[in-house]
Amino acid sequence: MGKFFQSKFVIYAISVISIVLWGSSYLWSNQLVKQNIPVEYIVCVRSLIAGVSLFLFNRLFKQCIRINKKDLGKFIGLALCEPTVYFVLETYGIKLTDSPTYSALVVSTSPIFSGIAGIMLFKEKLTRINILGIFICLIGLALVVTHGDKSCGEYFILGIILLFLSVIVEVGYAIFTKELSDVYKPSVIVMWQFLIGGLFLAPLAVFRTVPHFDAELYLSWSVLKPLLCLSLLCSSVAFTMWAATIKNLGVAKASVFLAMIPVFTAILGVITGTESLIIIQWIGICIAFAGLVLTQYVKKQPRV
């Protein structure tokens, strides 16, 4: 299994699958929000279901789930970064800007910060072609998101600040994952991430949910279906694959895939009929993909 996840083709494949699932998460989350389900409840329950399902998976395949005492702080830091703090900053950032367009553009700057962190902390190497690819990718993303809905909220600037802070927190999450991936299996890292994160979010979820809890609504299939998709697919599966991606590609190169989430969300929106794209946006998607390819370029060493 270890050799399987070291294959470049497999790593790129699971990277794309992760991003597609996270792109889909916006659609499933939207279904829940439209039914007035509190965001705090959604993320808390999603985290706990993901953590429990991965616990059962790890026990079934007899994975060692014990945390070394010296790594406990790293796991707590991981869970604080994501889902706890990242969720709060991103959600309220999007709410205050009142613009998915600009919000997506801010979040897509993650590769720049992650690239700097990867080079400084893990001595990762980015060639000039890789760096050029990052900026080409961001140009393509700008064309996609800046030609959508541009309505802005009253507290737009504050929202932008919160979104930039969420990007920094995302980098922190990637750093903790990279450090832990040398010792623990991806499924074990993600299991503890969501179990601990779910416990952190529980008080907030209870505070927001209990006063207005409606069992008929919360236990209906229209709520359970998207919630299970978010928990099992977007959390358990996608985050486990992503931990393997960070381990094999590094923080800098892996983060470029994150910038493509708005693109996949837009494409999935077109497929489901909830979104429409103009020609300039399709051009932007092509440019972004071209940039993504350049970010992963590795010059072959001459044979001796």
Task: List the chain pLDDT tens, one digit each, 304 residues.
Answer: 455 455 778 888 998 899 888 878 877 887 887 888 888 898 899 999 999 999 999 999 999 999 999 999 999 999 999 889 987 787 777 777 766 556 666 776 777 777 777 777 777 777 888 888 888 877 887 777 666 555 556 777 788 788 889 888 988 898 899 899 989 999 999 999 999 999 999 998 999 888 888 989 999 999 999 999 999 999 999 999 989 888 888 887 787 787 777 777 777 777 877 666 678 878 887 887 788 778 776 655 544 4
- Domain holding 236, by residue range, is 15-295
Query: Phi and psi for 182 in degrees, rounded to 5?
Result: -75, -15
Q: How far is the C-alpha of 289 from the C-alpha of 132, rounded, in Å?
A: 13
Could you tell me if residue 7 is inside a domain? no
Could you tell me if residue 142 is inside a domain? yes
Quote the pLDDT of residue 298: 61
Burial class (CB in 10 A: 0-12, 13-18, 19+), 180: buried
Nearest 5 degrees, angle CA 285-CA 99-CA 224? Answer: 85
Quote the pLDDT of residue 299: 58
Closest to 235 measured CA to CA, from 1, 54, 39, 30:
54
pLDDT digits 0-9 by tens, 269-293: 778 776 666 788 788 878 877 887 7
Closest to 231 measured CA to CA, from 268, 190, 265, 182:
190
Could you tell me if residue 144 is inside a domain? yes
Q: How far is the C-alpha of 263 from the C-alpha of 269, rounded, in Å?
A: 10
Could you tell me if residue 1 is inside a domain? no
Nearest 5 degrees, angle CA 182-CA 13-CA 91? Answer: 75
Could you tell me if residue 281 is inside a domain? yes
Quickly count: other Cβ atoms within 10 Å of residue 228's Cβ.
16
User: Domain total for the chain?
Assistant: 1
> How many angstroms from the chain centroid is the CA of residue 198?
16
Could you tell me if residue 300 is inside a domain? no
Nearest 5 degrees, angle CA 81-CA 250-CA 18? Answer: 65
Residues 6+ apart with CB under 8 A from 194: 47, 48, 50, 51, 54, 79, 83, 235, 236, 239
Could you tell me if residue 9 is inside a domain? no
Q: Which residue, chain included where needed, has tokens 């702080």?
A: 73
Length of the chain: 304
Question: Residue 218 is inside which H or E element, if any?
Answer: helix 215-218
State whether residue 278 is helix, strand or coil. Answer: coil
H helix runs in 98-155, sequence order: 100-107, 110-122, 128-145
Q: How far is the C-alpha of 131 from the C-alpha of 294, rounded, in Å?
A: 8
Quote the pLDDT of residue 192: 97
Quote the pLDDT of residue 304: 43
Q: What is the pTM of this model?
A: 0.78
State whether residue 263 is helix, strand or coil. Answer: helix
Contact present, 14 and 244 (Cβ < 8 Å)? yes
Could you tell me if residue 157 is inside a domain? yes
Q: How far is the C-alpha of 104 from the C-alpha of 67, rounded, in Å?
A: 35
